[in-house]
Amino acid sequence: MTVTVGIDKMGFYTPGMYLDMTDLAHARHDDPNKYLIGIGQSKQAVIPPTQDVVTMAANAASQFMTPEIKQSIAMVLFGTESGIDNSKATAVYLAHLLDLPQTTRAVEIKQACYGATAGLQLAADYVRVHPEAKVLVVGADIARYGLRTAGEVTQGGGAVAFLVTANPQILALDEVSSYHTEDVMDFWRPVYRTEALVDGKYSTNVYLDFFKTVWTEYQRQTSRKIADFDAFVFHIPFTKMGRKGLRQILPEATPTHQAELTAAFEASQEDNRNVGNLYTGSLYLSFLSLLRHGDLSAGKQIGFFSYGSGAEGEFFSGKIQPDYQQGYDESAISQLLTKRRRVSVAEYEEIFNQRLDTIGSDQRLPVDEESAQYYLAGRLNEQRQ
């Protein structure tokens, strides 16, 4: 008998501050409509030095962690491109913070924004062989391009954590998926840099080409067509990018279906529009946004496009499960987003330059405003506190 495997629980975290895109446009002497409509972003998460990918991941995962779940976690797969150590995996720090059993395997996965999808697929394959096991998968990042760069409007940050299990509560994954790898220099970050390098326009073209390639290949493998889907969820570096992805395939649908797919896309971009790029977490925040704001019911078929610069693309699919709304904490997520404090451009710039991981010496961070359960208190003897 085949086991149904997929996403059972989801959690999300982004820090308590945001930058308004109209404020940023004014400060950069740009037309706000370029940011709000042209790029499609309204707010951007501002990441204080008291939060890094480990603490953000712990805050996201703790939304669904119970003692019972902890005991059955066999593996932690941490997708990130904002790692804090070249040797020790973020997953090991995370397993400790969450107090997971020492019988848990814990590793970090890197391939730009694709890391969490690699985690999801490896986890699903593992659970198909070990149906009693649960795998914790995380996508956590801080998207940084630099002050006054073209990419600045597409920054953001946060973490999405999810549990991959048999008989999942949220999404049953289809076993088939199509993927494509090519050595491309569209976006990269050499180890000596704290900000990414990007060939912006080129990266948007590669993204669209990869989507076309994996969508065509998925259809060839499955004989499925656009008519078989109720929604498509995209990796969203900025919402216009996902919109362009959808527009590429919309002509394959009937006019009524086009309207339904567009409405589903609007729901799936809502939270990303207010947080910005999460890199590895972006596709999964978009899925969470669809769950929270979309018109869904059991059995709806969802298509996912994952993209990581450099580059790797994958198209996969799954079915919404009857109790999907019990798989995430709606009130915690909505409070997190609505209670954020708007910071000025000057405050954002100061915070942007205050990163602990770029400072070599011991440091204690001011945590007066930190309300998160997990936060970085400083560094002592080259060790995170």
| DSSP SS3 for 19 | strand
Active-site entry in 152, 235, 270, 370: 235
Nearer to ligand HMG, 57 or 95 (CB): 57
Q: What are the φ and ψ backbone dihedral angles of 41, each rounded to 5 degrees?
A: -120, 135
Closest CA to 264 of 230, 297, 234: 230
Can you tell me whether residue 343 is helix, strand or coil? strand
Number of shown-chain residues binding ligand HMG (CB under 6 A):
31
Kindly tell me the sign of the dihedral angle through the C-alpha atoms of 54, 61, 195, 307: positive
Query: What CA–CA distance (Å, rounded) separates 229 from 84?
Result: 39
Is 31 near ligand HMG (CB under 6 A)? yes
Q: Does 211 bind ligand HMG (CB under 6 A)?
A: no
- Mapping DSSP to helix (H, G, I), strand (E, B) and coil, where does residue 55 land? helix
Q: How far apart are CA 273 and CA 276, in angstroms?
A: 6
Pattern of binders to ligand HMG over 135-154, x per CB under 6 A?
---------------xx-xx
Q: Which of residues 350-369 bind ligand HMG (CB under 6 A)?
A: none
Number of residue whose CB is nearest ligand HMG: 38
Q: Is there binding between residue 179 and ligand HMG (CB under 6 A)?
A: no
Whole-number Å distance between alpha carbons of 91 and 95: 6
Tokens of 320: 């919404």
Stretch that binds ligand HMG, among 21-29, 32-40, 49-57, 297-305 (CB under 6 A): 32-40
| Smallest distance from ligand HMG to CB 202, Å | 9
- Closer to ligand HMG by Cβ: residue 280 or 321: 280
Distances (CA, A) of 332 to 10, 83, 120: 12, 26, 24
Does 109 contact ligand HMG by CB under 6 A? Answer: no
Catalytic one of 81, 108, 312, 314: 81
DSSP state of 250: G
By CB under 6 A, the residues from 45 to 84 that bind ligand HMG are 81
Catalytic annotation, residues: 81, 113, 235
Q: Which residues bind ligand HMG (CB under 6 A)?
A: 31, 33-34, 37-39, 81, 112-113, 150-151, 153-154, 186-187, 198, 200-201, 203-204, 207, 235, 237-238, 240-241, 277, 279, 307-309
